[in-house]
Amino acid sequence: MEERDKKIAAAALMVFAGGVIGAGLALLFAPQSGSRTRKDIFRYAKKTRNRTDEAVDDLAANVSNLVETIGEKTEDLLEKGKDVAGDARKDLIRLIEEGASKLEKFRTILKRV
């Protein structure tokens, strides 16, 4: 879980850094009044935060679904493995019993000779 949290935090940090860089570039290339610029920065930061929150939520949901799917597949494989092992055990017991029966018949024949 720690690695997942680190990846989410890294993604959020990258999005935030991109937003800061974009805001800085906007200041350099589109000069306007200070109040207008502050409003634009605030609006852009709010949009960036909302997009970041959505991206983090989507990423967390996808990771959660992936973990759940892997867990289900693992349970299915474990059940199939148990079934195969049970079948193999039954076959082995049957073969041992058949061998014991044939061995007993062979002993009976040898005793007569």
Average pLDDT over every residue of 56-81: 89
Average pLDDT over every residue of 2-16: 80
Q: How far apart are CA 97 and CA 78, in angstroms?
A: 28
DSSP string, 56-75: HHHHHHHHHHHHHHHHHHHH
pLDDT-wise least confident of 12-16, 30-34, 87-91: 30-34
What pTM was computed for the model? 0.45
Q: What is the pLDDT of residue 46?
A: 92
Greater confidence (44 vs 33) lies with: 44
**CA-to-CA separations, 60 to 1, 12, 19, 24, in angstroms, rounded:** 11, 12, 21, 30
